[in-house]
Chain A
Amino acid sequence: MPKLNTFQWAGLAAFLFAVFFAVPAFVAASGRTDLYYTLTSVALLSIASAGVWLTFYIGRINIGQGAFALIGAYASAILVTKAGMSFWLSLPLAGLFAAGVAILIGLPILRLRGVYFAMISLVLTQVVTLTALALPITNGAKGITSIPLPGAVSVFGLTLIPDFATLENPRLAFYYTACALMVITFAAMYRLVNSRLGHLCRSMQQNEELAASIGVNIAYIRIIVFAISSFLGGIGGAMFGSIAQSVYPSSFQVADSVNFMLNCFLGGLGYVFGPMLGTLVLYFGWDLLFELGRYQLLVYSGLLIILMLVLPNGLLSLRLGKGGGQGR
């Protein structure tokens, strides 16, 4: 069981305070309500990126997370619109469904390593997009639209989660939900990385043969980790579907998969919280350059390259304190 020192506890408390109190207070004070959606996006994208990071942890470069996000989005949308299920129940089911698909696909392709795995995972997003276009249950090219907002959840007459449609500001509700999910995800990741499984993953990352020779069931661990990773992708995708109230085959594209990977690289592959920071910087980086108009992409990509030249091991390699929690 990992022990946090006082400094880390303080950091965690400060982070939670910032996310759940300071940001909403700031938004209310400044009137910048568009930040809710931006930060919700960052939170959800960082959940999916965390999954990608986890596959890096077993030495696989995963450029296919968009595929699982899309699967999750469709699974949740279909359960809500066709089966009339509550969104809150469909959310974990969407994650589980994505994980199930990941196990099926992972059995053959996880045997690949290095660039081979990277390249095959790059193709996955297109496979799912093409499948969504071809299947009747996904409504093909027309997508699934007019998905209702998440409904109420009550236990013994006590309303735990209010019906989003009745809320004055569903965006704030989505923000809290996304942040809560993000906190849970990264807490679980931190726990996982510091558990026995985490140690086994690290040994696999360095040398699979060696790990196998000392009795690690690498095939089993690979599948488990890939399933967890895809579960996170599915959750992120399902949440996005609910916010947009629509899912299309193009809701998640190859570009998204590449971005998930970039988030991890940018944050630093050696650090659990790398994906969170990477997502924040990349997403806000693009948004901040909004004013540059037609030069937006030029400056953005230029900065990305310069960043890579200066900090080839990710932003967190510049760490000032050690509060971030470390993977290795």
Chain B
Amino acid sequence: MKRRTLMKTSVALAVSVSALTSAVWADNPVLKIGFVGVTSGPAAAWGISNQRSMEARADWINEAGGYKIGDTTYDIEIVSFDDQKDPKRAIAGMEKMAQEGIHYVVGPNVDDGAAAVRPVAEAQGIMYFPYAFPKELYTAPASNAVLGMVANYQSGPAIYKYLRDEKGVKTVAFVAANESDPLSQRDGGVAAANELGLEVVSDNVTYQVDTTDFTPVLTPVMRTQPDLLVLSGVSPANAPQLIRSARELGYQGLISTETAQDATVLREGAGELANGFISVGGASTPEIASDDMKEFVDRYTKMFGEYNDESNTKVYALEYILATLNANPAAIDNVDEFQKTMDTFEAPNPFMKGDAKLRYVGTSSFGQKRQIAVPLVVNVYQDGAFETLFVAEVD
């Protein structure tokens, strides 16, 4: 029975392969941190910027001699799993992490994956840091997910409020891709805009994820002549095309989004038409970036040839995991300890100038501290680079 032998051989192979890699020689004991996300296919950009920021940071730590947790200094190893944006694969990835003895995982990148891995993570004692916004992931009884970024229902209101007060925005239009994440973000944005007393003039125009030509999509939106056009949950690939189409259709108002973007992509795709585009970013703009952040960008660029501005927001999760473990070494293989520490944890934020803190937040959104406090940095694109528009905090 060929089938059976084949199965056995593959199983044996799998075991030996994983045994081989775990025997990597190192001075320090190795602390493995996982990454489960999408690093191939259409959405590869999300996961790759994520994985690379983790690898760049881990490399930096190891070069500096390791990371001290309790009495032991660890080398950090990043174990990555490509889930191909398939929730079924994401579960397999989480199982793999458990098998490798990993308790802290960054990812998945999208809503469906984050929801699908929840049973595994909770059964196997894994804390995971998804980049997905559904509230039920973070509200009790869910216990093991920590939102790895600022959610759109937190950044949206801040941005709209700022634009209402400072730029006199009165009407808003929303456009979103016809896919789970962007649609949920659009609904959140509409609610926030209504609450602020803005008039939502168009909120039901959507586009296929694979659209390449947005002129027909935007034509009806432009008729409503909004003061602000919000591109809900827009992927970096689509943003420049949308901006370009809107401007070419004669749109004069503001354009914003609540996702992180990349300046190079905007410059190549939309050129000066992208000037004034408002997006959410991390702390790499010159006004607020600390020396550590600058070094991180340098190292990332050296390692991978080109920096991706999306990584500004993605450098944090790993830092939080390590800093929290440092605060409570018992958590290294015990997520209950980790969860206890989360309530009181506080450490300086190395990536931002000033006295910003790393701490867990989310009480007002989720009823428990299940979100990392990333500074809400709102950027505006100008001639190939981002400038900081304003910085806010999330609670």
B and A form one assembly: yes
A256 cross-chain contacts in B, Cβ below 8 A = 86
A124 at the interface (CB under 8 A from B): no
A305 at the interface (CB under 8 A from B): no
B75 at the interface (CB under 8 A from A): no
Cα distance, A319 to B6, chains bound together (Å): 13
Given A37-B120, A41-B88, A143-B111, are A284 and B3 neighbors across the interface (CB < 8 Å)? no
Contact indicator per residue, chain B 77-114, by CB within 8 Å of chain A (1) or not (0)? 00011101111100110011011000000000011100
Contact B178 A34 (CB under 8 A): no
B92 touches which one: A37, A255, A280, A293 (CB < 8 A)? A37
A41 cross-chain contacts in B, Cβ below 8 A = 88, 91-92
A288 cross-chain contacts in B, Cβ below 8 A = 10, 13-14, 17
Contact B134 A273 (CB under 8 A): no
Q: How far is the CB of A167 from chain B (nearest CB, A)?
A: 10
Contact B10 A145 (CB under 8 A): no
Cα distance, A17 to B98, chains bound together (Å): 27
Q: How far is the CB of B208 from chain A (nearest CB, A)?
A: 9
Q: Name the residue on B nearest A253 (C-beta).
A: B86
Size range of the chain A interface in the assembly: 35 or more
A245 at the interface (CB under 8 A from B): yes
Main SS at interface, chain A: helix
Cα distance, A296 to B119, chains bound together (Å): 27
Given A38-B95, A277-B6, A288-B10, are A142 and B88 neighbors across the interface (CB < 8 Å)? no
Cα distance, A243 to B117, chains bound together (Å): 10
Q: How far is the CB of B128 from chain A (nearest CB, A)?
A: 14
Q: How far is the CB of B235 from chain A (nearest CB, A)?
A: 14
Q: How far is the CB of B164 from chain A (nearest CB, A)?
A: 27
Given A130-B178, A248-B180, are A273 and B3 neighbors across the interface (CB < 8 Å)? yes
Q: How far is the CB of A294 from chain B (nearest CB, A)?
A: 7
Cα distance, A18 to B11, chains bound together (Å): 13
A32 at the interface (CB under 8 A from B): yes
Contact A34 B183 (CB under 8 A): no
Contact residues of B between 181 and 200, Cβ < 8 Å to A: 181-184, 187
Main SS at interface, chain B: helix
B84 touches which one: A36, A251, A255 (CB < 8 A)? A255
A119 at the interface (CB under 8 A from B): no
Given A34-B95, A251-B112, A320-B2, are A18 and B7 neighbors across the interface (CB < 8 Å)? yes
A246 touches which one: B10, B15, B87 (CB < 8 A)? B87
Given A18-B7, A248-B115, A281-B6, are A240 and B88 neighbors across the interface (CB < 8 Å)? yes
Contact A37 B10 (CB under 8 A): no
Q: Name the residue on A nearest B183 (C-beta).
A: A141
Contact A255 B120 (CB under 8 A): no
A248 cross-chain contacts in B, Cβ below 8 A = 87, 111-112, 115, 180
B268 at the interface (CB under 8 A from A): no
B182 cross-chain contacts in A, Cβ below 8 A = 141
B96 cross-chain contacts in A, Cβ below 8 A = 34, 290
Given A14-B4, A244-B87, A277-B6, are A145 and B134 neighbors across the interface (CB < 8 Å)? yes
Contact residues of A between 241 and 292, Cβ < 8 Å to B: 243-246, 248-251, 253, 255-256, 273, 276-277, 280-281, 284, 287-288, 290-291
Interface size, chain B (Cβ < 8 Å): 50
B180 cross-chain contacts in A, Cβ below 8 A = 133, 141-143, 248-250
Given A280-B3, A290-B81, are A26 and B86 neighbors across the interface (CB < 8 Å)? no
Contact B99 A280 (CB under 8 A): no
A30 at the interface (CB under 8 A from B): yes
A11 at the interface (CB under 8 A from B): yes
B178 cross-chain contacts in A, Cβ below 8 A = 130, 133
B92 cross-chain contacts in A, Cβ below 8 A = 34, 37-38, 41, 287
Contact B88 A146 (CB under 8 A): no
B13 cross-chain contacts in A, Cβ below 8 A = 288
Given A248-B87, A250-B112, are A141 and B179 neighbors across the interface (CB < 8 Å)? yes
B115 touches which one: A38, A170, A244, A323 (CB < 8 A)? A244
Q: How far is the CB of B83 from chain A (nearest CB, A)?
A: 11
A86 at the interface (CB under 8 A from B): no
Q: Name the residue on B nearest A30 (C-beta).
A: B15
Contact B7 A243 (CB under 8 A): no
Q: How far is the CB of B43 from chain A (nearest CB, A)?
A: 11
Given A243-B119, A245-B118, A250-B112, are A280 and B6 neighbors across the interface (CB < 8 Å)? yes
A18 touches which one: B4, B14, B179, B181 (CB < 8 A)? B4
B295 at the interface (CB under 8 A from A): no
Contact A284 B10 (CB under 8 A): yes
B41 cross-chain contacts in A, Cβ below 8 A = 255
Contact residues of B between 251 and 281, Cβ < 8 Å to A: none
A255 cross-chain contacts in B, Cβ below 8 A = 41, 84, 86
A240 cross-chain contacts in B, Cβ below 8 A = 88
Q: How far is the CB of B305 from chain A (nearest CB, A)?
A: 13
B123 cross-chain contacts in A, Cβ below 8 A = 170-171
B39 at the interface (CB under 8 A from A): yes
Contact A296 B40 (CB under 8 A): yes
Q: Name the residue on A nearest B55 (C-beta).
A: A293
Contact A244 B21 (CB under 8 A): no
A35 at the interface (CB under 8 A from B): yes
B116 cross-chain contacts in A, Cβ below 8 A = 244-246, 251
Cα distance, A133 to B179, chains bound together (Å): 7
A146 touches which one: B39, B40, B82, B136 (CB < 8 A)? B136
Contact B4 A244 (CB under 8 A): no
A284 touches which one: B14, B15, B88, B98 (CB < 8 A)? B14
B15 cross-chain contacts in A, Cβ below 8 A = 30, 32
A140 cross-chain contacts in B, Cβ below 8 A = 183
Contact A293 B21 (CB under 8 A): no
Q: Name the residue on A nearest B176 (C-beta).
A: A141
Cα distance, A258 to B111, chains bound together (Å): 23
Given A34-B99, A133-B178, are A319 and B2 neighbors across the interface (CB < 8 Å)? yes
Which of B's residues lie within 8 Å of A, judged by CB?
1-4, 6-7, 10-11, 13-15, 17-18, 21, 39-41, 80-82, 84-88, 91-92, 95-96, 98-99, 110-112, 115-116, 118-120, 123, 134, 136, 178-184, 187
Which of A's residues lie within 8 Å of B, judged by CB?
11, 14-15, 18, 23, 26, 30, 32-38, 41, 130, 133, 140-143, 145-146, 149, 170-171, 240, 243-246, 248-251, 253, 255-256, 273, 276-277, 280-281, 284, 287-288, 290-291, 293-294, 296-297, 319-321, 323-324
Q: Can you show 7 pairs from A to B with CB atoms below 8 A apart?
A: A34-B98, A142-B184, A145-B136, A244-B116, A245-B115, A246-B115, A250-B180
